[in-house]
Amino acid sequence: MTVLSHTMDPARAHPAPARPRIWKQLWLWVLLAMVLGVVLGMEAPHTGLLMQPLGDAFIRLISMVIAPLIFCTIVSGIANMADMSRVGRIAIKTLAVFYAMTLLAIVIALLAANILQPGVGMNVDPAALHSTNLADYLNRAEQITPMAFILNIIPKSFFGAFVEGNVLQVLFLAVLSGFALIWMGARAQPLLDVLDAGLQMIFRIVGMVMWVAPVGAFGAIAFTVGKFGVASLASLGTLIGEFYLACLAFILCAIVPIALWCGFSPFKFLRLFRDELLISIATTSSEAVLPRIITKLTEAGCEKGLAGFTVPAGYSFNLTGACLYLGMATIFLAQATNTPLSFAHQLGLVLLMTVTSKGAAGIPGAAFVVLAATISMDHTIPVGSVALLLGIHRLMSQGFTPTFIITNAAATMGIAKWDKALDTEQMRARLG
């Protein structure tokens, strides 16, 4: 009888999945759809505007399964751990990593804005920037208070969180349900079997929906280019370009240390999520790719339950891309309106925004609302200056949404390594 050597190649123990032919790969079709969308938006702007429902429909198709997916994944993961103390340790480690990343994002945003100075020399008069749309954002900003954040965690009913699609509320319910199943012991097994079967069904639905991702990307990009055009961005193009550079710098600063610690290639890690990055750039929606992120992290060696817990948690507590946006936007508005701000004042404003952003879950245009709310409360930067960013908020979202996705995924890898829940052989086979 042949005995297998204990030094067997890890790649053979966990072979990487066969790569499909180039014309069968999703990222290629999404990229082609985005190019066609840009061409349509430039050549026929009015027709491009009519394509918006295609992007919105794709996001809705994915959003309809987000709540049950998060619930089933987290409940199953916690119940299978059968150790409430470990769940608590994972939660503490998750928050620690998330807030370390948040602090890094704040530092990079402030350094980039102060060094590059995108708003210097604009000499904008805030009184001339009246916008009827701004009042709507300011009304939403009034909803953001610490008490509102606490109350927003608790749903009005068990099924209310699923109806509203509030990620934070579903996360809260899932943790409670997971603990309850642990206490039930063996009697919970039939329900766990049902949850696992339901989870498999949801992933099959996601697989079907992703076939229309290129159509959604085409519609979303055609609408964006058709609405804003290329020439109209010249006045604020410097801010957009410098913001994208800050996002790239943050991604490298966040991923490289985690990659070195865990032992994977940062470039292969980025390539692993290329489909999701392209989709998020086109649709400016991070929720649209949440199911696939959990799946790919599991394939890369993360424990399924841990990935199912930390990735959804990041949607409320690891808003790194939004922090970059808030930091650069705040300093830009101060520079554009010639409002003097000390570095300590800048840091205090952005730190306040990272707290108030937690209360903006479920509010449309959350990052922009948080910006307007904080500036309104501070009474230093003219609140009317926020109207400067109304036209380019979506374009900046196309920078901070993929930034959030990739850094949230990298944070999950780091947390899995820290908790000894990372299969290093499987990770090396996929990302080595």
Residues of the chain with pLDDT under 70: 1-24, 82, 126-149, 228-236, 355-366, 391
Instruction: Note whether 281 and 401 are within 8 A (CB).
Output: yes
- Mind listing the pLDDT tens digit for each residue in 58-88? 888 887 888 888 888 888 878 777 677 788 8
Instruction: Quote the DSSP letter at residue 118.
Output: T
Question: What local confidence, expressed as pLDDT, does residue 4 receive?
Answer: 39
Short-list 396, 355, 324, CA closest to 110? 324
Structure token digits, residue 24 = 């069968």
Exposure b/e, 348-379, CB count within 10 A at least 16 = b: ebbebbbebbbbbbebebbbbbbbbbbbeebe
Question: What local confidence, expressed as pLDDT, does residue 249 receive?
Answer: 93
Question: What local confidence, expressed as pLDDT, does residue 131 receive?
Answer: 53
Whole-angstrom distance, CA of residue 180 vs CA of residue 295: 25
Whole-angstrom distance, CA of residue 360 vs CA of residue 144: 6
Whole-angstrom distance, CA of residue 126 vs CA of residue 131: 11
Burial of 128 per CB tally in 10 Å (0-12, 13-18, 19+): exposed
Whole-angstrom distance, CA of residue 407 vs CA of residue 37: 27
Whole-angstrom distance, CA of residue 228 vs CA of residue 304: 41
59 Cβ contact list (under 8 Å, min separation 6): 216, 283, 285, 287, 288
DSSP 188-238: GHHHHHHHHHHHHHHHHHHHHHGGGHHHHHHHHHHHHHHHH-SGGGTTTHH
Short-list 217, 218, 222, CA closest to 48? 222
